[in-house]
Amino acid sequence: MPNLGIDIGGTYARAAVVDDAGKVLGAGKVALHDRSPAGVVESIAKAESEAVLNAGTRDIRFCGVGVAGQLRGDTGIVAVAPNLGWREVPFGDLLSARLGHAVRVVNDLRVAAWGEYRVGAGRGAEDVLMVAVGSGVGSAAISRGELVLGHDGVAGEVGHIKVVPGGRRCGCGELGCLEAYCSGHNLIAQMKEAIFSGLYRTTLGDRVGGDLSKLNPLVLETAAADGDALAVEIHERAGALLSVAIANYVTILNPARLILGGGVLLNCPGLFKRVVQGVETHALRLSARGMTVHMATLGDDSGIIGAALMANPALAATLLDPPAAPPMKAQGAG
Amino acid sequence: MPNLGIDIGGTYARAAVVDDAGKVLGAGKVALHDRSPAGVVESIAKAESEAVLNAGTRDIRFCGVGVAGQLRGDTGIVAVAPNLGWREVPFGDLLSARLGHAVRVVNDLRVAAWGEYRVGAGRGAEDVLMVAVGSGVGSAAISRGELVLGHDGVAGEVGHIKVVPGGRRCGCGELGCLEAYCSGHNLIAQMKEAIFSGLYRTTLGDRVGGDLSKLNPLVLETAAADGDALAVEIHERAGALLSVAIANYVTILNPARLILGGGVLLNCPGLFKRVVQGVETHALRLSARGMTVHMATLGDDSGIIGAALMANPALAATLLDPPAAPPMKAQGAG
């Protein structure tokens, strides 16, 4: 019996009916107009109906949901989801009440990494590191087939390692984070700030017909390739910082597979290549020996596929234990 | 029945009879004059006899050995041990032939971390990060009660993350590693290089009566505290680099306990304090929430105690599976 995977992205709620081998049997996609918890729940309900209709089956065994945010262990509570503007939302309960079945809420990068690990670029390996550079920068690591969760369930925050102590302010409020130089959002912000400063002669504005809302990482990459000095500076710095950060991550974890994903890396081949080469240069040779580097092969589907697979206890191993939470039933049942 | 733990340090082979609660029942210590595999085996044999004599029991159940080097999974083969000058030594076989019982050979930092995790500063936590700054810089991480091993068994090489790309050459042959600025060996080397360069006015030489072989990290720390500009520069850089590196490690792993050990940190309270404060400053607040920082409480004994506890399969969990090795028996037995 297949499972249902749900992914809440920046713009869409997506759902898919997925079999145990990770094959998508039917999918649905609904725009997220209203980002309130109730609004998102409605969009998901529509996406689920669409997916079920397209798959031609109502027989769903488990349902998993990936959310870009920090979760309170396995309680379904979203502690913080900056993109959605949520704090302490009992999202699992709201969603399962609306859908009429249980749901498992998991961090979006972990479901993506789990999808890649089970049926994508990580298949067959037991030690996998996935780093995604998209609107944010995040990661998830799998050690001997188990996700590295951290005591509070928030391991993997590589976007917030300090790469320029005292440097550029990050969306998290701290200074000099990797994400502050490399995420899609921050690449765009750095272009705009430089243009508005009036200190640079650059072609970036002209490339989007003067409409700076159209700036994106690919415009940056193209301008850098054409030799635009400002674009080169921002692009090179992002590439260099990502390279060393990911190389150091490899040196510490010694993974068998390094999987690179996220919209920025998947859509900017120049940056992707730079990072692959940079990791090779900077990772300790001993630690990177035998490691292979891959682009995320499931692309946009890694989240929905991973969420579906992770919802199935038989495929998700110990992840199902609520991290750092006391055994509440045992206490109550005495 | 107690276990036997063995630790091969820079100067001594140490052995101890240790009960399952981590209590040392008797210990022995023999100087390492001959660092050849045969010489080390002999020193260990003497240290074991001494420990057994002191403990007043010959009933040893399991025996574990910590070695500063990279091992080939759980085969007992030491791939590289720079301090001993070994490459591809079948140390487990040599040692067990001499001692007349089985031994388990494990990386020294992993046994130290395991000792701290079971009966030291990490007791009661399931997610523990130990970083040691001694003659080298190393680490071991425990995630949900399991050591993070890496696919090739060499996870934790934090001493060789790149902190100054293209910087100072490290003993590993690569450039700009953390260890190249912060290990005891490299702190001393940096003092000597600066003195020999003749470019600095410094009190360091006078502090050791002109005998530069007597320079050590504590002399550096004392001189820095007295305002010696060269000492301040070397000491501050080491503190700053260690702080950011360990803070970033915390941001990635979200441990419940951070344990700092190793001769340099244990003997230089100024550097220790600087690192504790620096980790607090630079770690992502979310990742460090609820984390406590500790000095290694077992001190010099963490290695022998951890080695003894790790030798016991009931206390060592999945660590006993040879990492990244094919299931050889299954293949042979068909």
Q: What is the pLDDT of residue A197?
A: 95
Q: Which residues of B touch A177 (CB under 8 A)?
A: 284
Q: What does DSSP assign to residue A83? A: T
Q: What does DSSP assign to residue B16? A: E
B15 bridge partner residues: B6, B28
Q: Answer whether A150 sits within 8 Å of B254, measured CB to CB.
A: yes
Tokens 């910087």 belong to residue: B167
Return the closest-CA partner of residue A102 out of A111, A117, A92, A89.
A92
Q: What is the pLDDT of residue A317?
A: 53
User: A198-252, pLDDT tens digit by residue?
Assistant: 999 999 999 999 999 999 999 999 999 999 999 999 999 999 999 999 999 999 9
**What are A183's two structure tokens?**
């995420």
Interface size, chain A vs chain B, as Cβ–Cβ contacts under 8 Å: 154
Q: Read off the pTM.
A: 0.91
Q: What is the pLDDT of residue B315?
A: 66
Q: What is the pLDDT of residue A1?
A: 87
Q: What is the pLDDT of residue B332?
A: 31
Distance between CA atoms of B38 and B44, rounded to whole angstroms?
10
Q: CB-based contact (8 Å) between B206 and chain A?
A: no
Q: Are strands B63-67 and B104-107 parallel, antiparallel or unpaired?
A: parallel
Q: What is the pLDDT of residue A315?
A: 65
Q: Which residues of B touch A145 (CB under 8 A)?
A: none
Q: What does DSSP assign to residue B322? A: P
Q: Answer whether B148 sits within 8 Å of A244, measured CB to CB.
A: no
Q: What is the mean pLDDT of residues B54-65?
A: 92
User: B103-143, pLDDT tens digit by residue?
Assistant: 999 999 999 999 999 999 999 999 999 999 998 999 999 99
Q: Answer whether A254 sits within 8 Å of B151, measured CB to CB.
A: yes
A 10 A CB-CB count for B227 gives 9
Q: How far is CA A156 from CA A108, A137, A183, B252, in A?
A: 12, 10, 16, 5
Distance between CA atoms of B102 and B123, rounded to whole angstroms?
28
Higher-pLDDT residue of A250, B75? A250
pLDDT at residue B319 tops 70: no
Q: CB-based contact (8 Å) between B146 and chain A?
A: yes
Look at residue B65 and give its three-state secondary structure.
Answer: strand
Chain B nearest-CA distance from A160, in A, is 6
**What are B227's two structure tokens?**
């305002």
Q: What is the pLDDT of residue A316?
A: 65
Look at residue A308 and give its three-state secondary structure.
Answer: helix
Question: With contact defined as beta carbons under 8 Å apart, do A75 and A88 qualify?
Answer: no
Q: CB-based contact (8 Å) between B153 and chain A?
A: yes
Q: Answer whether A252 sits within 8 Å of B154, measured CB to CB.
A: no
Distance between CA atoms of B225 and B235, rounded to whole angstroms?
10
ipTM of the complex: 0.90
Question: With contact defined as beta carbons under 8 Å apart, do A187 and A150 qualify?
Answer: no
Q: Which residues of A touch B177 (CB under 8 A)?
A: 284
User: A149-168, pLDDT tens digit by residue?
Assistant: 999 889 999 999 999 989 99
Q: CB-based contact (8 Å) between A138 and chain B?
A: no
User: B185-221, pLDDT tens digit by residue?
Assistant: 999 999 999 999 999 999 999 999 999 999 999 999 9
- Nearest CB to B125: which of A70, A144, A151? A151
User: B265-288, pLDDT tens digit by residue?
Assistant: 999 999 999 999 999 999 999 999
Question: With contact defined as beta carbons under 8 Å apart, do B270 and B225 qualify?
Answer: yes
Mutate to test the interface with A, among B71, B143, B318 (most CBs of A within 10 A): B143
Q: Answer whether A150 sits within 8 Å of B291, measured CB to CB.
A: no
Q: Which residues of A touch B240 (CB under 8 A)?
A: 165
A 10 A CB-CB count for B152 gives 22
Q: What is the pLDDT of residue A327?
A: 30
Q: Answer whether A253 sits within 8 Å of B148, measured CB to CB.
A: yes
Q: What is the pLDDT of residue A332?
A: 31
Q: Answer whether B151 sits within 8 Å of A125, measured CB to CB.
A: yes
Tokens 């820095």 belong to residue: B224
Q: CB-based contact (8 Å) between A208 and chain B?
A: no
Q: What is the pLDDT of residue A69?
A: 86
Chain B nearest-CA distance from A45, in A, is 32
Q: Which residues of B touch A241 (CB under 8 A)?
A: none
Q: Which residues of B touch A161 (CB under 8 A)?
A: 247-248, 251-252, 284
Q: What is the pLDDT of residue A59?
A: 87
- Residues in chain A, total: 334
Tokens 């980790």 belong to residue: B279
Question: With contact defined as beta carbons under 8 Å apart, do B65 and B84 qualify?
Answer: no
Q: Answer whether A254 sits within 8 Å of B155, measured CB to CB.
A: yes
Higher-pLDDT residue of B321, A328? B321
Determine the residue of chain B that is closest to A258 in CA distance: B151
Q: Within 13 Å and on the Cβ side, how many CA atoms surround B268? A: 31
Chain-centroid distance of CA B328 in Å reads: 31
User: B246-263, pLDDT tens digit by residue?
Assistant: 999 999 999 999 999 999
Q: CB-based contact (8 Å) between B107 and chain A?
A: no
Low-confidence ranges of chain A (pLDDT < 70): 315-334
Q: Answer whether B157 sits within 8 Å of A284, measured CB to CB.
A: yes
% residues pLDDT > 90 (chain A): 81
pLDDT at residue B78 tops 70: yes
Chain A nearest-CA distance from B117, in A, is 14
Mean pLDDT of chain B, nearest integer = 91
